């Protein structure tokens, strides 16, 4: 199976009743405000090349960002902040992301999340997180020949990602590594067909962090550049 096959199965997923209801309700209610475009309202697949060396992981798509446009971190302020820094770090062809036809290309980097549907208040339940886990495990399996580093945005994403990485064939040290901005842990392979994986932590690009200056553009660019260099980009 290719990543494209995985993505086309993923966008049909309806495994979480609460999230299916929410993503479709938002799409119905907001469609009028965005009349010129199709409001996605479905699972949002990862975005970026199938031979990525760096994987950037959030938590879940935003209701009016990815859930609206169908592309990760596209169409909201969090995405504007992320892609501007990726452009600065040489990982994106342009600093803006408005809609899937905007010409944005990512270089050696893919952006994804452990939960693929927008949750109410940006908070998936534990069950939803566990139900969605296999999609990212499969994505990591398909990326495993090339992926060398994973950059996680935020503590919730970090907590959600550790079991995914374990399920996808890497060893999680005990005690579990703690999230922090600038955290860097190397995970040993747990299977013969895996190679060591560098895990980086970074504050999330939500407005709570970016408006308050907790996360500045240069802080994000620094971590991105570090992760990219470690991944060989
Ligand atoms: Fe399916 Fe994941 Fe969406 Fe749940 S969150 S419906 S498992 S894609």
Task: Note the Cα 213 to chain centre separation in Å.
Answer: 22
pLDDT of residue 168: 97
Ranges of H-type helices in 31-125: 66-69, 77-88
Distance, in Å, from the CA atom of 10 to the CA atom of 4, rounded to the nearest integer, reads: 10
Taking the CA of residue 23 as reference, the ligand 1 atom at the shortest distance is 3
pLDDT in tens, 148-160: 999 999 999 999 9
User: Which tokens belong to 37?
Assistant: 């475009």
> What residue segments make up the domains of the chain, in order of their start?
3-230
Q: What would the pLDDT profile of 48-58 be if each residue is shown by its tens digit? A: 999 999 999 99
Whether pLDDT at 87 is above 80: yes
Q: What are phi and psi of 136, to 5 degrees?
A: -75, -30
CB 15 less than 6 A from any atom of ligand 1: yes
Q: How far apart (Å, rounded) are the C-alpha atoms in residues 228 and 213? A: 23
Name the token pair of 194. 């895996």
What's the chain's average pLDDT? 95
Q: Is the CB of 19 under 6 A from ligand 1?
A: yes
Q: What is the pLDDT of residue 64?
A: 85
Report DSSP state, residue 168.
T
With a 6 Å cutoff on the Cβ, whether 125 touches ligand 1 is no
Predicted local confidence at residue 27, as pLDDT: 83
Angle between helices 77-88 and 217-230 in degrees, nearest 10 = 50
The pLDDT value given to residue 28: 83
Q: What is the pLDDT of residue 48?
A: 98
Q: How far is the CA of 14 from the centre of ligand 1 (A)?
A: 6
Beta bridge partners of 54: 109, 149
Task: Return the percentage of the chain with pLDDT > 90, whole number.
Answer: 90
- Is the CB of residue 16 below 6 angstroms from any atom belonging to ligand 1? yes
Q: What is the pTM of this model?
A: 0.96
Residue 38 — pLDDT band, cuts 50, 70, 90? Answer: confident
Burial of 211 (0-12, 13-18, 19+ CB in 10 A): exposed
Reported as a pLDDT band with limits 50, 70 and 90, residue 71 is very high
Q: What is the DSSP letter of 170?
A: B
Ligand 1 atom 2: residue of nearest CA: 132
pLDDT tens column, 173-200: 999 999 999 999 999 999 999 999 999 9
The atom of ligand 1 lying closest to the CA of 20 is 6
- CA separation for the pair 180, 71 (Å, rounded): 27
What CATH number was assigned to the domain covering residues 3-230?
Answer: 3.40.470.10
């Amino acid at each position: 199976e290719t990543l494209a096959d995985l993505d086309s199965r993923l966008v049909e997923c309806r495994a979480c009743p609460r999230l299916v209801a929410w993503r479709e309700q938002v799409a119905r209610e907001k469609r009028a405000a965005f009349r010129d475009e199709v409001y996605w309202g479905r699972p949002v697949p990862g975005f970026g090349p199938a031979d990525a060396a760096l994987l950037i992981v959030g938590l879940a798509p935003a209701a009016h960002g990815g859930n609206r446009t169908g592309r990760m971190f596209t169409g909201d302020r969090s995405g504007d902040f992320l892609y501007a820094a990726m452009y600065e770090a040489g990982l994106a062809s342009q600093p803006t992301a408005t809609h899937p036809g905007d010409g944005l290309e990512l270089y050696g980097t893919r952006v994804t999340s452990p939960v693929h549907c927008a949750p109410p208040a940006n908070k998936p339940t534990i069950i939803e997180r566990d139900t969605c886990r296999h999609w990212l495990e499969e994505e990591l399996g398909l990326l495993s020949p090339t992926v060398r580093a994973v950059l996680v945005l935020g503590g919730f994403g970090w907590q959600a990602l550790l079991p995914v990485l374990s399920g996808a064939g890497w060893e999680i040290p005990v005690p579990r590594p703690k999230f922090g901005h600038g955290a860097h842990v190397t995970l040993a392979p747990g299977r013969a067909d895996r190679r060591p994986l560098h895990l980086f932590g970074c504050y999330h690009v939500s407005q709570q962090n970016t408006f308050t200056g907790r996360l500045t553009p240069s802080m994000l660019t620094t971590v991105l550049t570090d992760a990219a260099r470690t991944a060989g980009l």
